[in-house]
Structure 1
């Protein structure tokens, strides 16, 4: 509802049109100012982002968000507070975001908008009504958003793994005891890992349960390959290599069978440690917090750098698998969940996977909120990955990873066209410290990656901001991708890259190559600032010699600061509007092999 009656608003507007001198009450002026702010149009509770005492709210920004500096949340008509202050308490990303802007003394960077709120201290099985108002710099509020009604859950039955004989001494192998607690878990129960260090091998979750890693608890992966069944999963239906089980799995015991899961939550303030690699001495991050640093490795150094990774590769080689394939396929990821509908990850810290971080294969409606990923520089240690999945929401997370931070994939080669696309994702309010890319599409693009929105994120130190990668034989590509309203500093390579020239030395080409190259099209990069990219500010690499172009790419309101310029080859039917470079030496535009590029209000102008 508006804060003033429509007749009062009309009277004010009419007086201005007639240029009459009128005296307007102060309260009405405030109301008129508030009326200029639009309320958030879509307030929602993400999938499974609530329990018996907490509800998480997110909302889309109004189409016209100019002037909005915060959002106020109301519950049952009573103001709870602002989103910015709430994130100070509930988002592990917020302190880093604040530090980033404190260092921006020249006010160069775009200021992101925080559009989520965690409500806690609620009663079980109780209905609550929420509205959200936009707020400007002077504290004026918009009208209310549409009302959202959400009910908390009943208090779940708890199955403490210690009651099944698990010991948190860091030495006892607890796989059987923890699995027994999971198997005994009743409908919508919670399996609790209490304070302590609980070593375990592969665990298998089931539908309608919560796995909670309590504050002070560590779920520590075993260092022995025999604790992870070799018959784990195949990545795609046409893959030939069977990968071992991960530490946490939602998978059928036979990788050739199909099993569907639903309603799984993995939460808590504790730690999940994959025990994959040896650690160098810990360092401290920019906030003075301890930051683990794992030894960077490859398929020639795993014997000296690895723990679980070493054991798994060594024993795979002993079974007759060549080193390259053993290294590329026979290490366990931290989590692999397949065919899960409704999945929530919240609050925990991820450390040291032997392979990938959190893998979501053919899932639907996945949310990751408020997690911490400290996997740098564990080889292939991604943050979270989605493959051939529909519906993903990733917000309020801290990423410091050994590979891509948030990655999307859709299959490899010609057979990927029979798979569903990877689609519908929203990534916002995250902080990316290190990693190969903030948001990454590819390199597995065969079934298409589409409908991705990444906004209001901050990065300082990743290799790349938006990273899009494929090959001439991968097929598919990415389309309808928007990367906007974000701030990037100190990328080790590019600010934005779209390339067909990607090569993975550990990849197994166990698929039919596509005759169609990958392509990135219908891409929009808007209202983004990039400072001190070490490589290229923008790099676009198609293959114009073989008529492989990326197209319909739009850069708008993008500012670059530093020596790096644009390197563009194999791009057509694309535009650059309000794009500026400051600090480059010479012409920042290096363009070749491209067609029908339009430039408007670009500084400096490219040479035609």
Structure 2
């Protein structure tokens, strides 16, 4: 592979196509385009940092060259070159065929049949969910396995908590504990080792949907009964938690929970309606999610995509309609997160949009550290918050080296928070440092739960009380504030240092009071 130092240039392989993706060059302008050359074939005028190359042969190497086509130059500028191999054509294991006989009528529980197919899946095979609605409880995937959902196929999670037993070790809101098994679990959680599972793919044009709000409420109600004595002993300390459902809600299953896995791909699906987070990756490496739609409106903690103490995670060309964060980047909670000390690092998010939900959050569970987060070419204008970097004074850890470019965002918030602050402290406040925000429309508009809009602070930077833990080294360049009805050009700074502004302009009109 030939690339500029540190330049990401990779591909998602399929049997007859490649989806190639790459970092956005620092110098790329809004009118610049990209060109791909594959042998004698040229694809030019590409206006995003990813493109599908179709019409290819299976199990074949292709040399691909990437160039930047600048509006001001006649000759393209070489960026990268690499050789990618398409996937083999795998034998499909149809879960409705013998000896599995799964039934896709939406009523018959097919957990055992689908699990047997997954257990039988070899490296040159893939499990196929054909058209239909296949009701299932918890499933597990192992190394070198692949699950394919055909168009009009739905893997539908049960709403009965018993279908997600026995409980398994998992991490929720920064704490390792026994939780109900997720609809699909990949790998086994163990912070003392590296990746023990590898090469797992879930793809297709179908849907994976969880038990949703019904499963959420049933789990919480059942767990509240089981924990009634513990909850009673907390007394007034219960107010340190987000709400009365926080503790009993921590054992809810996720939709897809990936643990200690190197090489996990989620490609092309509609996913959602989990009873909590949808896609959660813990202690993982080399995660790619592309071409997906996330649906979880109406679910408390209905996050879309949550990398947690994981590295090299890429998300692109996805659409979000979530009931909480579209993305939440995490790394554990004090003091356990500090002791485990596994940061989330090298995350790339680009070409995504959201029509609801809170936006991209970093924290508040970030005690293991978060670094090298890059976001570009995204539309978060309809989110409730936008870019939201947060931590409590108990957390310890750090969030550093975050870059956001060429996006539309509801607001930018970097601040200390007091909620979700239960448990023993880590001994020091977090360090928030080295942030760069460039070429952005920041609307200063908060979307309320009922869908109406009101002005809010466009940029809020407020660090911790200790001067050693103020937010520091922030660049705001070429930013338009407001520019929409009910937008705001307000900036608030407190407990911060080395904040640089260049080309920041307030162009909107505040029509009502800023909250």
Contact 1:43 1:132 in 2 (8 A): no
- For 1:528 and 1:309, how far apart are their aligned partners in 2? 37
In the alignment, what sits opposite 1:396?
317
> For residues 467 and 192 of structure 2, what CA distance do their matches in structure 1 show?
38
Query: Distance between the aligned counterparts of 1:500 and 1:188, measured in 2?
Result: 50
Kept after mapping to 1: 8 A contact 2:223/2:249: no
2:489 and 2:507 in contact (8 A); partners too: no
Name the TM-score, length of structure 1 as normaliser.
0.74
Please list the CA deviations of residues 307-333 of structure 1 after superposition, one character each: whole Å capped at 9, or x if unmatched.
111221222233235463554212211
Matches within 5 A, 1:276-295: 276-277=212-213
Distance (Å, rounded) in 2 between the aligned partners of 1:121 and 1:238: 44
Alignment of 1:38-187 (within 5 A): 42=7, 44-46=9-11, 49-66=12-29, 68-84=31-47, 114-137=48-71, 140-163=74-97, 164-187=100-123
3-state SS in 2 of match to 1:526: strand
Which residue in 1 is equivalent to 2:429? 517
SS in 2 for 1:178: helix
Q: In structure 2, the residue corresponding to 1:207 is in which secondary structure?
A: coil
Distance in structure 1 (CA, Å) of the matches to 2:354 and 2:318: 8
- 1:205 partnered with 2:170: no
Once the two structures are TM-superposed, the CA of residue 248 in structure 1 deviates from its matched residue by 0.6
What SS does structure 2 have at the residue aligned with 1:210?
strand
TM-score w.r.t. the length of structure 2 is 0.87
Gaps of at least 5 residues in structure 2 are 232-243, 446-454
Q: Indicate conservation of the 8 Å contact 2:111/2:138, yes or no.
A: yes
1:261 counterpart = 2:197: yes
Deviation by residue 1:179-199 (Cα, 9 ceiling, x = unmatched): 000000112421111100000
- TM-aligned CA deviation for residue 567 of structure 1: 1.5
Q: Is the 8 A contact 1:68 1:135 kept in 2?
A: no
Q: CA deviation at 1:237?
A: 12
Aligned position for 1:226: 162
Contact 1:467 1:496 in 2 (8 A): yes
Counterpart selection for 2:171 from 219, 235, 247: 235
The structure with higher relative contact order (CA 8 Å, sep 6+) is: 1
Question: The residue matched to 2:51 in structure 1 has which SS?
Answer: strand
Instruction: Give the conservation status (yes or no) of the 8 Å contact 1:459–1:487.
Output: yes
Aligned mates of 2:474, 2:502 — CA distance in 1: 11
What is aligned with 1:406? 327
2:490 aligned with 1:565, yes or no?
yes
1:512 Cα deviation from its structure 2 partner: 3.2
Change (3 A) 1:527 1:81: closer
Deviation string 1:499-541 (CA, Å, 9 cap, x unpaired) is 112413xx7x3x5311211231111111111235221111122
Contact 1:41 1:146 in 2 (8 A): no
Alignment partner of 1:355: what SS? coil
Per-residue displacement from partner, 1:108-128 (whole Å, max 9, x unpaired)? Answer: xxxxxx111111221112221
Query: Hey, what's the Cα distance between the residues in 1 that align with 2:355 and 2:140?
Result: 31
Matched, 1:578 2:503: yes
For the structure 1 residues 480 and 167, does the alpha-carbon distance in structure 2 shift closer, same or farther, using more than 3 Å as the test?
same
Which residue matches 2:226?
319
Q: Does 1:498 align with 2:419?
A: no
Task: Work out the CA distance in 2 between the residues paired with 1:218 and 1:476.
Answer: 40
Shift of 1:574: 2.1
- Tell me the matched-pair count: 482
In the aligned structure 2, how far is the partner of 1:41 from the partner of 1:453?
A: 13
Conserved 8 A contact 2:265-2:287: yes
Q: Cα deviation per residue 1:38-83 (whole Å; 9 max; x = unaligned)?
A: 999957224xx10211211112333322364322222112223542
Name the SS of the counterpart of 1:341 in structure 2.
strand
Supply the distance in 1 between the matched residues of 2:6 and 2:430 (Cα, whole angstroms).
36
Query: Is 1:444 paired with 2:365?
Result: yes
Q: CA deviation at 1:466?
A: 1.3
Classify 1:310/1:43 alpha carbon distance in 2 versus 1 (closer, same or farther; 3 Å).
closer
Q: How many angstroms apart in 2 are the aligned matches of 1:581 and 1:53? A: 48
Structure-1 separation of matches of 2:191 and 2:6: 43
Q: Tell me which residue corresponds to 1:457.
A: 378
Q: 1:542 to 1:187 in 2, by over 3 A?
A: same
Partner of 2:273: 352
The answer as to whether partners of 1:445 and 1:476 remain within 8 angstroms in 2 is yes
Kindly indicate whether residue 300 of structure 2 is the aligned counterpart of residue 375 of structure 1: no
The residue aligned with 1:556 is 477
The equivalent residue for 1:425 is 347
Of the structure 1 ranges 511-520 and 181-190, higher mean CA displacement relative to structure 2 is found in 511-520
Runs of 4+ in 1 over 6 A off after TM superposition: 38-41, 253-259
Cα deviation digits, residues 550-588 of structure 1 (max 9, x gap): 1111211111123340122111122222211124569x9
**Secondary structure of 2:56's aligned partner:** coil
- Quickly say closer, same or farther: Cα 1:226–1:469, change in 2 above 3 A: same
**Structure 1 residues 270 and 148: alpha-carbon distance in aligned structure 2, compared to 1, 3 A threshold:** same
**3-state SS of paired residue (2:472):** strand
Q: Deviations over 1:441-479 (max 9, x none)?
A: 100111110011111111231012211010111111200
Q: Is contact 1:379–1:403 with CA below 8 Å preserved after alignment?
A: yes
Distance of aligned partners of 1:240 and 1:135 in 2 relative to their CA distance in 1, 3 Å threshold: closer
1:531 counterpart = 2:443: yes
